[in-house]
Chain A
Amino acid sequence: LPAVRSSVAGAVTMEKLTTYAHVTGYNNFYEFGTDKSDPAANAGTLKPRPWTVQIEGEVKKPGTWDIDALMKLAPMEERIYRLRCVEGWSMVVPWLGWSLAELVRRVEPTGNAKFVEFVTLDDPRQMPGLRSRVLDWPYVEALRMDEAMHPLAMLVFGVYGEILPNQNGAPVRLMVPWKYGFKSGKSIMKIRFVEKQPTTSWQAAIPQEYGFYSNVNPKVDHPRWSQATERRIGEDGLFAKKRQTLMFNGYEAQVGQLYAGMDLKKFY
């Protein structure tokens, strides 16, 4: 998948990449099972072609995009993002895609569009994990409009120079590097523009533990574990000290102003 290196500020970290094996073998994707090795083992049943993405809600140009047409909407960029999971581990991943804002601008949101909702496929024939009732399916994630318009919020079609493997959310997923990983919906089939703040899947499941914003924040702990530190997968040795988690996962300079004046303990 040809791409150029991104020129968006903060989009290319110089840190050491997490290996391809770890990026594609250690995943949380509950639609294929709850163990982190499950997605790699079970995602073969997902059919990423043909695929359409439906744009609906408060936009002047709703419609259905074929995945191959959607991929050509903007020049493919390679971006190297830190990925911080809410569970306390992190990776550095070379994604391929472009800013979500490109699509948002193209479909022309109306004045009523305040939030963007991302709906993951929920076909039990393709996704064996849907038979478990861990969450209410389909998986729903959402961003505030200004978050969605931030150039770092990215629609992803590939990783490590290749088309996205199924277990990483083929054929199209979101990547919002300053938020915990679960905010970045995978295998997206619907993007909906809405006026009211949507209830996201994890928020609906355990509201006291997972909030709408879920920004990476070392000062706001998860109720059952600290978020102050993290372990970089494949790099931080077993007995190495865990590394400090950075505010907004190290993207504070780029995204801090989105949350100016907000109490991030309250809006976790």
Chain B
Amino acid sequence: MNRWLLHPAAKPVVFLLALLPFATLLGGALTDSLGANPAEALIRGTGEWALRCLWLTLAVTPLRLWFGWTALLRLRRMLGLFTFFYALLHFTAYAWLDQGFALEAILRDIAKRPFILVGTAALLAMLPLAATSFNRAVRAMGGRRWQALHRVVYAVALLALLHFLWMRAGKQLFGEVAVYGGLLAVLFGARLHAWRQRHRAPALHRAAPGKG
């Protein structure tokens, strides 16, 4: 797997794959083949792909820990930026197709509806992460500070899940929300487990000499 991931074509291939949903939606919009309610199809489609990309981004570390696919790290930034890309498209589609770019109406809508507020918060929280995604930013900030900032992604994931849950709750459709929630629990669980092992190991180490 690692060897495949290190292949020079790996990155471009993943890039094109991640762009495929966008191309499909755009093509559908241009040829009017998104069904009876194309606006809804675009808003939902971009939102769902933002969720999927975010979950994939968050899967990099667990997959690395479980299977030793360390080369996945090469793809993480791109997946993260695709998350931001689809989230931005999602918001733009909402602001344009649902609200006609009426700024006042959008602000009122965000303030009035918790599920839209939460979605907007998730998008805004992604801004600093996207803005500091290039190599120079990591050097300028220092690895530790950069990493601390980028832990905001966990909050983004929870906000995104809540946004999705509240949207679906209006129609009592919890099936997919449960799948995303379960996956996120696994992705978070893997990190928690790794963190506990890291912190237990030195403690044992220190205790050992005392016991003689």
Contact = CB atoms under 8 A, between A and B. Distances in A.
B206 interface: no
Interface residue SS majority, chain A: loop
A16 interface: no
B173 A134 contact: yes
B212 to A, nearest CB: 61
Contacts of A225: 113, 170
Contacts of B98: 242
Contacts of B97: 238-239
Interface string B116-150: 10000000000000000000000000000000000
B211 to A, nearest CB: 56
Interface stretch (B32-40, B70-78, B184-192, B196-204): B32-40
A226 interface: yes
A37 B29 contact: no
A224 B113 contact: yes
Interface in B160-212: 166-167, 169-173, 175
Contacts of B166: 224
Contacts of B173: 34, 134
Nearest to A202: B172
A233 B35 CA distance: 10
Contact of B169 (A37, A89, A135, A206): A206
Nearest to B105: A226
Contacts of A241: 100
Contacts of A34: 171, 173
A149 B93 CA distance: 43
A134 B37 contact: no
A225 B168 CA distance: 12
Contacts of A37: 35
A239 B170 contact: no
Nearest to A132: B175
Interface in A223-260: 223-226, 231, 233-234, 238-239, 241-242
A135 B37 contact: no
A36 B173 CA distance: 13
Contacts, number: 53
A206 B168 CA distance: 12
Contacts of A132: 175
A221 B170 CA distance: 13
Interface in B36-68: 36-40, 42
B115 interface: yes
A10 interface: no
A132 B178 CA distance: 14
A22 interface: yes
B101 to A, nearest CB: 10
A238 B29 CA distance: 8
A205 interface: yes
B180 to A, nearest CB: 16
A222 B109 CA distance: 12
Interface in A168-224: 205-206, 209, 221-224
A83 B173 CA distance: 23
Given A238-B29, A241-B100, A224 B170 contact: yes
Given A226-B109, A238-B29, A206 B36 contact: no
A233 B37 contact: yes
Contact of A25 (B36, B42, B167): B36
Of the listed residues B38, B96, B109, B115, the one surrounded by the most CB atoms of chain A closer than 10 A to its CB is B38
Interface of A: 22, 25-26, 34, 36-37, 89, 132, 134-135, 205-206, 209, 221-226, 231, 233-234, 238-239, 241-242
Given A206-B169, A224-B113, A224-B116, 17 more contacts: A22-B36, A26-B35, A26-B36, A34-B171, A89-B37, A132-B175, A135-B172, A209-B170, A221-B112, A222-B170, A224-B170, A225-B170, A238-B38, A239-B96, A239-B97, A242-B98, A242-B100
